[in-house]
């Protein structure tokens, strides 16, 4: 850098300070949750902000044994995996078509996709019932997975299209000249180059599907099929919410999600290209 | 490149294998639970709609299991009885509606009186039960069946404890300021400076749940109309009296006084039911206006001496205070059931005295839906019993859109962001838009006659 | 597959998916909104009269206004916040990568917990509200306020929580976009003597234009269509925070006016479409077509 050492030092301190503040605003609630998960119910209600009077681990045990949170996790994993695979295939192919090909009807397709993003799910409850029932998919994981994929489709297409458009055309032209088909170009050339974008889309959609309450509440009514958010509703019992147990369940659920995210993040979003931002 | 593809492919293969295994596991579970023979489904729209609601989970499971076992002895063709009772209260209506729209098997519905009156009956979610209930009417206490009568039809067989609106108070905190349960509003108001000196909030409320503010309005309206509140409400809904009528504004002002006089915490709108109760349980507040369905929670969470008292009397020129409530829940039959005879048999069975007694016994209620089932002989039960008979909740008479609007208006008024006059004017305006959209008040048979009580 | 057929083959999976699960239901839903419908039984034809009823309803106007204000704050906020975070975690500082996971945390949180935390945080001091307690601790008692209980500040707080919640997501979007920027552009700019801020303004931002477009689109959709959770959990849609989706929910699930709720949904669609297409055309007019 052409700046003076003093300015470099100051900038570095400022940078760390900003990072710290940012981290605090993100971590604050997490610390609250974790601290709360070790308290007893009474302790939590008296003052949710102080440290636990005694550190109780039974909340975690209870969450998995009594509240059977493990079952919900398994169900959620199934649905999210299914939904994600359907979504990524559909969105990647569509986004590639929109990014690289000029064809009649391209504008129409874009508009249609945009429009489908603008309808809230509540409105479609009854029509979706009818559609799923006629397909015989009512109450199945596959049905809900398709709904998840459909609702995340628009955003994913637009994001992927943006990332695909930033791939230099020469590379694709070269592959084409070598005789590669369109699908091969997509799979072997374009996707690896846009892996950060692709991975981030996958992560974002996985989060959305994992946290979705509305669709699974309406369409997965069998208690055995409950996904995590639906299952967490059961913590809200008649007379009181068992906050510490709920927070324990949430902490236990968030940690693996974070680990997966951290790993994916390092591997993919960092990028295999050497470019740092500055 | 190929190495990477192999990794990805094997990961996908692993996922699919795991999914397949899970699918097999789940479908095995499902087919195991379906057997031969008849299956009966008892549906509870929310976790509040179980047998013995409020009792500990294992107690609920035990009494429910006992009942089912005895029922199956009488009806051996029934192989399986499933109880589907889950979810927060606010989502109950949606859950019931979704289940019926989806075509799930639903036979008996455990339903609360409020949604029966405001949503289920007119919404086509349940079927009338006149033929079943009329012959066995003598099982139930007076007023119980009326609570489930809408448009001249009976929609449920009552089976529950009686619930009443009541104040709960911290006896220790009151004793500290040298007071007992206040009988009049002015006595209570006089305690405000003493509570403030002791750094105690006199009264809190779960203001975030707008629907609970109506308790104050109804109680004030009862006294302002000299106990002719139902008659008065009907006149307003018919249009012969306006919502801006002086009596109605007076009732709103009386409710508002609680906040203006410093009795009711001005920021109660920030509290929902859990945070309000935690403020009370931790001794920061001395009292709250709630309902006897709160009692199980209080007994298990409170570490001080507590008691109940009725809504206080405003100055003596007005009517006297009444408690609202009555029989809270019952058994309905789903509109989409394909086994109505069996469902009705279950309902008849559960409401027989000996079975009802077993189901209601864990509640230790001061009064129940059944004349022959009475529990609870402690001081608090006796005090509550003295307040019977209960007055009918007024929000069962208002149309739901108006109730929702009124709740929000009350919320704003008690949050001190608008005056009672403004509140009344807003409600009148909303009523008029409803009338323009076609609302006509239908007098229901369940509306109690005018000047009694 | 020939070249000219390529795009259509590519489009097939996506179109089948949304055709079955979105377009068909949307069409059917529209047909339903032209009848009287309580969720179970379809009544008689009402044509567009339900639409007229919704458009003339004062409650709808109020909800729409709140939604527009909310969307304005949130769209700008999410972009600025997300971009700032993305820049922050791209600084050439040691250990900066760990922060990328940390800053993403709020996105992973369940809405129930977000609601619990922020309602506690913003409540009155005597109810355990940390913000108000902190204000009085530093001597600013005058600023103590019922943040979520007053119309005005309630909507502002809900907007801020929404921005806080999704900042990490937009950070991720921008980060991925920044990774794709050709480093030679930065090298060239440095050679021209540009400092850090100028490089950001003249290289990073223009290269990120398509990403900013998408980010704004996502934020816009989120504010209009998916704002139910955050509003409900913080204020139960009271105190001046009723937005169109909570209004719709009340109509459908509290009052049973399914057809009217559906009509509201389609009116919302038209409104969003107007906003989105305006933005699309404005942004594309300045952009090169590829």
A239 to B19: CB separation less than 8 angstroms, yes or no: no
Can you list the domains of chain A with their CATH numbers? Answer: 68-234 (1.10.3720.10)
- To the nearest whole angstrom, how far is the Cα of C142 from the nearest Cα of chain A? 23
Q: Do C15 and A243 touch (CB under 8 A)?
A: no
The tens digit of pLDDT for each residue in C199-240 reads 888 888 888 888 888 889 889 988 988 888 899 888 888 888
Report the residue count for chain C: 290
Distance CA B97, CA B99 (A): 5
- Where residue C146 falls among pLDDT bands split at 50, 70, 90? confident
pLDDT of residue A255: 77
The verdict on a CB contact (< 8 Å) between A120 and C276 is no
Q: Is the pLDDT of residue B347 over 90?
A: yes
Q: How far apart are CA B25 and CA A232, in angstroms?
A: 23
Question: Distance between CA B314 and CA B323 in Å, rounded?
Answer: 14
Is C289's pLDDT higher than 60?
no
Please compute, for residue A184, the number of CA atoms within 13 A of its CA located in the half-sphere on the CB side. Answer: 12
For the cut 60, the answer to whether the pLDDT of residue C68 exceeds it is yes
Asked if B108 and B71 sit in the same domain, the reply is yes
Q: Pick the residue of A239, A263, A268 with the most B CBs within 10 A to test the interface with B by mutation.
A: A239
Count of domains for chain B:
2
Q: Are strands B126-127 and B329-334 parallel, antiparallel or unpaired?
A: antiparallel
Residue B431's pLDDT band (cuts 50, 70, 90)? very high
Chain A within 8 Å of B99 (Cβ-Cβ)?
Answer: yes
pLDDT level of residue C19 (50, 70, 90 thresholds): very high
Same domain, B304 and B423: yes
Q: What is the mean pLDDT of residues B277-286?
A: 89
Q: What is the mean pLDDT of chain C?
A: 85
Asked if B87 and A233 touch (Cβ cutoff 8 Å), the reply is yes
Residue C191: Cβ within 10 Å count: 8
- Nearest CB neighbour to A238, from listed B23, B54, B278: B54
Per-residue confidence band for C282, with pLDDT thresholds at 50, 70 and 90: confident
Chain C interface mutation, best of B199, B265, B270, highest count of C Cβ atoms under 10 Å:
B270
Task: Look at residue B40 and give its three-state secondary structure.
Answer: strand
User: How far, in Å, CA of C203 to CA of C183, rounded?
Assistant: 10
Fold classification of C54-285 (topology level): MetI-like fold (1.10.3720)
Average pLDDT over residues C271-282: 83
Residue C135's contacts (CB-CB under 8 Å, 6 or more residues apart) are C141, C143, C144
Identify whether the C-beta of residue C4 lies closer than 8 Å to the C-beta of residue C10.
no
Taking any CB pair shorter than 8 Å as contact, residues of chain A touching chain B are 41-42, 45-46, 74, 78, 81-82, 85, 125-126, 129, 133, 138-139, 141, 188, 217-219, 221-225, 233-234, 236-241, 243
Residues B309 and B430 in one domain: yes
Distance CA A274, CA B345 (A): 74
In chain B, the largest separation of any two C-alpha atoms, in whole Å, equals 91
Residues B83 and B173 in one domain: no
Q: Does residue B362 share a domain with residue B298? A: no
Provide the pLDDT confidence category of residue B305 given band limits of 50, 70 and 90: very high
The C-alpha of C132 sits at a distance from chain B's nearest C-alpha, in angstroms, of 13
Any domain includes B251: yes
Residue B23: is it exposed, middle or buried by C-beta count within 10 angstroms (0-12/13-18/19+)? middle
Q: Is residue B98 part of a domain?
A: yes
| pLDDT for B33 | 52
Q: Which of C150, C136, C240 shows the shortest CA–CA distance to B269?
A: C150
pLDDT-derived band at B22, boundaries 50, 70, 90 = low
* B267·C146 Cβ contact <8 A: yes
| DSSP-assigned beta bridge partners for residue B333 | B108, B127
> What mean pLDDT, rounded, does chain B reach?
87
Residue B444: per-residue pLDDT: 54
Contact C137/A at CB under 8 A: no
Average pLDDT over residues B79-86: 90
Q: Give CA–CA dist A231/C157, Å, rounded.
A: 28
Residues in chain A closer than 8 A to B91 (CB atoms): 217, 233
Taking residue C30's Cβ as centre, other Cβ atoms within 10 Å add up to 17
Place of tokens 């509540």: A122
The range of the structural domain enclosing residue B348 comes to 38-161+328-385
In a shared domain, residues B74 and B189: no
The DSSP letter of residue B191 is T
- Please check the confidence at residue B451 and state whether its pLDDT lies above 60: no
B33: closest CA among B81, B100, B84? B81
pLDDT for A276 equals 33
Flag if B47 and A236 touch (Cβ within 8 Å): yes
Specify the pairing of strand B157-158 against strand B153-154. Answer: unpaired
Of B195 and B300, more confident: B195
Q: Are residues B211 and B171 in the same domain?
A: yes
Instruction: Return the structure tokens found at B350.
Output: 């559960």
Spatial distance between the Cα atoms of B67 and B348, rounded to a whole number of angstroms: 12
Residue B32 has a CB neighbour count (10 Å cut-off) of 8
Model confidence pTM above 0.90: no
- How far apart CA B164 and CA B180 sit, in angstroms, is 21
Question: Tokens 């968030």 appear where?
Answer: A254
Distance CA B139, CA A166 (A): 77
Residues of B whose CB is below 8 A from A128:
none
CATH of the domain at B269: 3.40.190.10
**Average pLDDT value for residue range C113-125:** 86
* Residue A224: per-residue pLDDT: 81
Tokens read off for A275: 């470019």
Place of tokens 């979105």: C22
Q: Are residues B151 and B257 in the same domain?
A: no
Per-residue pLDDT at A88: 92
- Identify the H or E element spanning B207: none
Those of residues 185-214 in B touching chain C at CB distance below 8 A are 201, 207-210
The verdict on B146 and B228 lying in the same domain is: no
- Cβ partners under 8 Å of residue A213, min gap 6: A229, A230, A233, C111, C229
3-state SS of chain C? CCHHHHHHHHHHHHHHHHHHHHHHHHHHHHHHCCEEECCCCEEEECCCHHHHHHHCCHHHHHHHHHHHHHHHHHHHHHHHHHHHHHHHCCCCCCCHHHHHHHHHHHHHCCHHHHHHHHHHHHCCHHHCCHHHHHHHHCCCHHHCCCCCCCCCHHHHHHHHHHHHHHHHHHHHHHHHHHHCCCHHHHHHHHHCCCCHHHHHHHHHHHHCHHHHHHHHHHHHHHHHHCCHHHHHHHHCCCCCCCCHHHHHHHHHHHCCCHHHHHHHHHHHHHHHHHHHHHHHHHHHHCCCCC
- Give a yes or no: residue B409 inside a domain: yes
Q: So what's the ipTM on this one? A: 0.81
Helix locations, B140-294, DSSP H: 171-176, 185-190, 192-197, 214-224, 229-238, 246-260, 273-281
Which two structure tokens, joined as six digits, stand for B292? 């006897």
B-chain residues within 8 Å CB-CB of C59? 405
Least confident of B35-44, B113-122, C36-45, C269-278: C36-45
Whether B141 maps to a domain, the answer reads yes
- Rounded Cα distance, B239 and B237, in Å: 5
Chain A positions touching C118 (Cβ under 8 A) are 29
Cβ–Cβ under 8 Å, residues A118 and C269: yes
What pLDDT was estimated at residue A240? Answer: 63
- Over its C-alpha atoms, chain B yields an Rg (Å, rounded) of 25
Mean pLDDT, residues B268-283 taken together: 87
pLDDT < 50 regions, chain A? 1, 271-278
**Mean pLDDT within B87-105:** 83
C22 cis-preceded (ω within 30 degrees of 0): no
pLDDT in tens, B133-152: 999 999 998 889 989 998 88
Mean pLDDT score, B329-352: 94
Is B59:B362 a contact under the CB 8 Å cutoff?
yes
Query: What confidence tier does B27 reach under pLDDT thresholds 50, 70, 90?
Result: low
Give per-residue pLDDT as tens, B150-207: 888 999 999 999 999 999 999 999 999 999 999 999 999 999 999 999 999 999 999 9
Same domain? For B102 and B212 the reply is no
Is residue C288's pLDDT more than 70?
Answer: no
> How many Cβ atoms from other residues are within 10 Å of residue B153's Cβ?
16
Residue C3 sits at φ, ψ, to 5 deg, of: -55, -45
- Residues B79 and B90 placed together within one structural domain of the fold: yes
Q: Do B90 and B171 reside in the same domain of the chain? A: no
State phi, psi for B41 to the nearest 5 degrees: -115, 120
Tokens read off for A177: 């000249």
Rounded CA gap, C267 and C129, in Å? Answer: 39
Q: What are phi and psi of B305, to 5 degrees?
A: -80, 130
Domain range summary for chain C, segments of one domain joined by +: 54-285
């Amino acid at each position: 850098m052409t700046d003076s050492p003093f300015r470099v030092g100051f900038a570095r301190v400022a940078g760390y300070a900003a990072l710290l503040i940012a981290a605090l605003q993100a971590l604050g609630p997490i610390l609250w949750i974790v601290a709360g998960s070790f308290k007893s119910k009474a302790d939590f209600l008296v003052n949710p902000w102080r440290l636990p009077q005694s550190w109780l681990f039974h909340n975690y045990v209870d969450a998995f044994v009594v509240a059977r949170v493990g079952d919900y996790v398994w169900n959620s994993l199934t649905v999210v995996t299914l939904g994600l695979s359907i979504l990524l295939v559909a969105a990647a192919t569509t986004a590639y078509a929109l990014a690289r090909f000029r064809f009649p009807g391209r504008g129409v397709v874009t508009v249609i996709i945009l429009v489908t993003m603008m309808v809230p799910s509540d409105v479609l409850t009854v029509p979706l019932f009818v559609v799923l029932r006629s397909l015989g998919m009512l109450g199945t994981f596959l049905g809900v997975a398709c709904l998840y994929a459909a609702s995340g489709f628009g955003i994913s297409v637009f994001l992927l299209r943006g990332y695909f458009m930033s791939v230099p055309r020469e590379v694709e032209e070269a592959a084409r000249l070598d005789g590669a088909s369109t699908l091969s170009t997509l799979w072997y050339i374009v996707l690896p180059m846009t892996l950060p974008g692709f991975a981030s889309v996958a992560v974002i959609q996985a989060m959305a599907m994992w946290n979705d309450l509305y669709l699974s509440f309406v369409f997965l009514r069998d208690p055995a099929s409950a996904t995590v958010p639906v299952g967490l509703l059961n913590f809200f019992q008649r007379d009181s919410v068992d906050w510490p147990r709920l927070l324990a369940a949430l902490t236990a659920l968030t940690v693996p999600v974070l680990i997966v995210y951290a790993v994916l993040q390092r591997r993919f979003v960092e990028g295999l290209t050497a470019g740092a931002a500055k | 490149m190929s190495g990477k593809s192999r990794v990805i492919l094997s990961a996908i293969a692993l996922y699919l294998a795991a999914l397949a295994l899970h699918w097999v596991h789940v479908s095995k579970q499902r087919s195991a639970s379906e057997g031969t023979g008849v299956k009966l489904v008892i549906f509870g729209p929310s976790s509040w709609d179980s047998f013995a609601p409020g009792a500990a989970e294992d107690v609920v499971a035990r009494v429910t299991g006992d009942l089912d076992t005895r029922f199956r002895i009488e009806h051996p063709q029934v192989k399986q009885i499933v109880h589907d009772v889950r979810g927060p209260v606010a989502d109950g209506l949606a859950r019931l509606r979704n289940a019926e729209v989806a075509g799930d098997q639903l036979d008996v519905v455990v339903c609360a009186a409020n949604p029966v009156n405001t949503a289920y009956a007119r919404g086509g979610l349940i079927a009338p039960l006149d033929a079943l209930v009329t012959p066995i009417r003598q099982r139930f206490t007076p007023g119980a069946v009326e609570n489930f009568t809408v448009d001249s039809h009976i929609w449920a067989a009552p089976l529950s404890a009686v619930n009443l609106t009541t104040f709960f108070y911290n006896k220790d905190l009151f004793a500290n300021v040298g007071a007992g349960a206040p009988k009049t509003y002015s006595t209570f108001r006089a305690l405000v400076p003493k509570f403030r000196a002791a750094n105690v909030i006199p009264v809190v409320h779960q203001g975030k749940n707008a629907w609970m503010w109506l308790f104050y309005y109804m109680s004030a309206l009862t006294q302002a109309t000299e106990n002719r509140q139902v008659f008065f409400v009907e006149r307003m809904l018919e249009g012969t009296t306006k919502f801006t009528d002086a009596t109605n504004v007076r009732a709103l002002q009386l409710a508002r006084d609680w906040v203006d006089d410093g009795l009711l915490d001005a920021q109660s709108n920030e509290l929902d039911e859990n945070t309000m109760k935690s403020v009370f349980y931790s001794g920061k507040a001395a009292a709250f206006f709630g309902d006897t369905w709160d009692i199980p929670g209080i007994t298990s969470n409170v570490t001080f001496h507590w008691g109940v008292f009725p809504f206080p009397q405003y100055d003596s020129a007005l009517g006297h205070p009444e408690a609202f409530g009555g029989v809270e829940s019952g058994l309905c039959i789903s509109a989409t059931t394909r086994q109505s005879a069996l469902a009705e048999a279950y309902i008849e069975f559960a409401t027989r005295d000996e079975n009802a007694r077993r189901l209601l016994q864990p509640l230790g209620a001061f009064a129940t839906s059944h004349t022959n089932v009475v529990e609870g002989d402690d001081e608090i039960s006796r005090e509550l019993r003295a307040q019977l008979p209960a007055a009918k909740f007024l929000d069962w008479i208002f149309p739901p859109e108006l109730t929702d609007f009124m709740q929000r208006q009350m919320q704003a008024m008690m949050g001190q962001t608008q005056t009672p006059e403004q509140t009344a004017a807003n409600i009148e305006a909303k009523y008029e838009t409803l009338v323009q959209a076609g609302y006509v008040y239908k007098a229901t048979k369940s509306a109690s006659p005018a000047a009694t009580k | 597959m020939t070249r000219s057929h390529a795009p259509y083959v590519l489009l097939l999976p996506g179109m089948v998916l949304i055709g079955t699960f979105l377009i068909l239901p949307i069409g059917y839903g529209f047909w339903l909104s032209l009848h009287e419908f309580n969720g179970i039984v379809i009544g008689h034809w009402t044509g567009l009269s339900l639409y007229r009823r919704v458009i003339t309803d004062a409650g709808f106007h109020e909800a729409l206004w709140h939604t527009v204000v909310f969307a304005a704050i949130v769209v700008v906020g999410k972009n600025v916040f997300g971009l700032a975070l993305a820049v922050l975690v791209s600084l050439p500082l040691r250990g900066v990568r760990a922060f990328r996971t940390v800053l993403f945390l709020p996105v992973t949180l369940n809405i129930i917990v977000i609601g619990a935390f922020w309602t506690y945080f913003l409540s009155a001091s005597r109810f355990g509200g940390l913000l108000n307690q902190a204000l009085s601790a530093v001597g600013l008692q005058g600023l103590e306020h019922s943040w979520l209980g007053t119309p005005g500040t309630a909507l502002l707080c809900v907007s801020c929580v929404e921005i806080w919640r999704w900042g990490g997501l937009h950070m991720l979007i921008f980060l991925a976009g920044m990774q794709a920027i050709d480093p030679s552009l930065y090298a060239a700019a440095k050679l021209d003597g540009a400092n850090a801020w100028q490089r950001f303004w003249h290289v990073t931002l223009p290269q990120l234009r398509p990403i900013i477009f998408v980010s704004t689109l996502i934020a816009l959709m989120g504010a209009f269509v998916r704002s139910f959770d955050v509003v409900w959990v913080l204020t139960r849609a009271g105190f001046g925070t009723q937005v169109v989706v909570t209004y719709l929910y009340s109509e459908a699930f509290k009052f049973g006016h399914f057809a009217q709720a559906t009509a509201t949904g389609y009116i919302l669609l038209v409104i969003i479409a107007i906003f989105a297409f305006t933005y699309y055309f404005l942004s594309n007019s300045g952009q090169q077509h590829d």
